[in-house]
Amino acid sequence: MMIIGEHRPTKLVIDRAAIRHNIQEEVQRLPENCELFMVVKANGYGHGAVQVAEAAKAAGATGFCVAILDEALELRAAGFDEPILVLGVVEPKYAPLMAREKVSATVAAEDWLDEAGHYLALSQPREPLRVHLGLDTGMGRIGFQTPTALKQVIAYLDDHTAAFTFEGMFTHFSTADEASTDYFDKQVARWDAFMAVVPNKPRYVHVTNSATSLWHADHNVNIVRYGAAGYGLNPSGKALQPPFELKPAMRLVSELAHCKQLNAGESVSYGATYTSTQDEWVGTVSLGYADGYERRLQGFHVLVDGQACEIIGRICMDQLMIRLPRQYPRGTKVVLLGRSGNQEITLQDLAEYCGTINYEIACGFTARLPRRYVH
């Protein structure tokens, strides 16, 4: 397990009030009998799963979604008794554990039920395993692909009620965050075809992730799987504007570990890719790609005293160097994500520079960075 860097000034600051705001705003928009399940997979998108779950519950979330079983068990160990759905496929041998912990499983193939049923019969848990059927309407990831296959698996579940509880069914829209609705509409049509063969719906029927709920709210059924938007991230980047203000919950801050004057003609960092053309002040920050601060961010900037300071030379595993407008004392605050003075760096800014999406940057910050929670 990676050691947390408690004895250096570099840290992620997580604003729980921002998370509560982003959830409360969405809860107010939901129709009656529609619940919000907060998605806290990948350590809460890098924000801390348990702490995010606490804030989400306080803001009105009634359940949680995760990607793998261990993430669900972390929440159970922390004392959460709300419904938890594992969105990925778990090995059937863990079905008894999921049943005992009242964790809901995603089922994407009927033979999974056969194998899981075998393990359930051996262990005889006190309650059946709760299952949600994944339906592939065009995401192409997991799920049943035809209404015929769906009818067959529902019949299977009806015949095996001692082992399984048919708790839910869902799909995932892959382009809900885009201006064009062509592919989205195709997925909706496929979903409608699935629903036409299900006369008796289970307790939970859900199709909406953050993007779908923000921009296609008329498709909400009775759960919204609220992920990126809960953390203040626009799922579309900048393509679409959300119907309310999303407040970023994450900041990344540090301090100058060293400041020196570099003479004209001298170089900085591995490969000597940066050479000064004049005398200049250079600061060193204790942060690098081992912390998840992308090596690709060479040439980007940080904020010092409300001023943008370019990252010069290659970013090292544990340190990076910046050009300063003047000499600053060791310990001067450095903002790598967040606001300083009138300037701000967002996850979207970092993502665009790296040619990726804001989620990836947030999820990429490693365990070595301590998370500090405010509000």
Check the annotation: does 29 bind a ligand: no
| Residue 2, pLDDT above cutoff 90 | no
Q: Is CATH 2.40.110.10 correct for 250-345?
A: no
Average pLDDT over residues 135-142: 97
| Residue 150, pLDDT above cutoff 90 | yes
Show which residues are catalytic: 41, 270
Confidence of residue 369 (pLDDT cuts 50, 70, 90): very high
CB within 8 Å of 114: residues ≥ 6 apart: none
Check the annotation: does 317 bind a ligand: yes
Average pLDDT over residues 145-174: 97
Confidence of residue 146 (pLDDT cuts 50, 70, 90): very high
d(CA 100, CA 289): 40
Q: How confident is the model at residue 279, as a pLDDT?
A: 97
| Whether 9 contacts 254, CB under 8 Å | yes
Torsion of CA 52, 132, 359, 190, to 10 degrees: -140
Cβ atoms < 10 Å from Cβ of 33: 7
Q: How confident is the model at residue 1, as a pLDDT?
A: 79
Q: Domain residues of the chain, as ranges?
A: 16-231, 250-345
d(CA 368, CA 6): 8
Domain topology for 16-231: TIM Barrel (3.20.20)
Cβ atoms < 10 Å from Cβ of 167: 19
Average pLDDT over residues 265-282: 97
Mean pLDDT, rounded, of the chain: 97
Average pLDDT over residues 122-143: 95
Strands (E), 82-230: 84-86, 103-107, 129-134, 164-170, 204-206, 223-226
Q: How confident is the model at residue 125, as a pLDDT?
A: 82
Q: Both ends of the chain: CA-CA distance in Å?
A: 28
